[in-house]
Amino acid sequence: MNRKGLGRGLDALLAGDYQSTTGESVTELALADIVPNRFQPRREFDAERLAELAESIKRYGVLQPIVCRRQNQGYELIAGERRWRASQLAGLAVVPALIREYTDAEMTAVALVENLQRENLNPMEEALAYRRLMDEFDLTQEEISLQVGKSRSFIANSVRLLNLPPTVQEFVSRGTMSPGQARPLLVLPTPSLQEEAAAEIIKHALTAREAEELARQRTRKPLRRPPAASRKTPPDGAQALADQFSAALGTRVKIQAKDADCGVILIEYYSPEELQRLLEQITGEPDHDPAGRQSARRSAFPV
């Protein structure tokens, strides 16, 4: 599955998901005739918040229609599963809905981005959603950033969480650990070391910075610093220049002095895709695919 199959593009698909902008009529559908979205990225629905929404629906009704597509028998949800579930709790028999004609690929993309834009996902669900948009629809981190309103570095760091072992991912999913506490564990060489460090972070309620120090210690490779007399002091204004580099490149940049007149610029990257992006941004020359795939995919799926 790739984004060439999306045809209209996410902008067109997402336009007016909850309010018809094309003269569509809202239809009342029987709740019993609707099945959940098979491509729903959310794995958990908070029971307490669903109950609160159900109470609101009892008092005011469903204020925004859900979005469905026709199935051979009945309808399948595209967006609005929380309202559909809460309407069942509220004892409703029917729910207002917009009927759209979407392919499986379009349904998946809409469900992912709709949840991301509404911030309804936990950190691991969010990371998986970004990964699916990259893998299944061939979107770059830059394109996802524009679509969901998050920075490219945020998306890159989110996807990195998927490299953690399942146990640690579950901690992050449940909120037992924050992404900032978990991300430093990625430097540890084995899943067992990562799990042991995670347990210690939780036990002692370590901050993200303390988690970074713990992970560094667990690598058993202490940071070697040169003797104080031989350390080089960055030139005046180096930090300001590093900040300008960071803002221009969209990633962390450090400047280290070697002597009074020269030094090293360190540019961080988090994936091969990001490294390619940095190269193109610095050189100003995109890496043209001999087969023309890059230009084709951009024109096939405007964002």
Q: Say how many CA atoms lie within 13 Å of 195 toward its Cβ.
A: 7
Report the SS3 class of residue 92: coil
Neighbours of 52 (CB within 10 A): 12
Contacts 24+ apart (CB under 8 A), 10-16: 10/109, 10/110, 10/113, 10/147, 10/301, 10/303, 11/302, 11/303, 13/102, 13/106, 13/109, 13/110, 14/110, 14/113, 14/114, 14/117
Nearest to 3 by CA among 189, 134, 197: 134
Nearest to 280 by CA among 301, 302, 252, 250: 250
Q: Supply 238's token pair.
A: 């180096």
The answer to whether the beta carbons of residues 183 and 177 sit under 8 Å apart is: no
Q: Say how many CA atoms lie within 13 Å of 13 toward its Cβ.
A: 28
Neighbours of 99 (CB within 10 A): 16
- Residue 253's DSSP bridge partners are 267
The answer to whether the beta carbons of residues 111 and 39 sit under 8 Å apart is: yes
Considering the candidates 24, 44, 76, 81, report the single residue annotated as catalytic.
81
d(CA 190, CA 167): 13
Catalytic residue flag (residue 81):
yes
* Residues annotated as catalytic (active site), given as ranges: 81
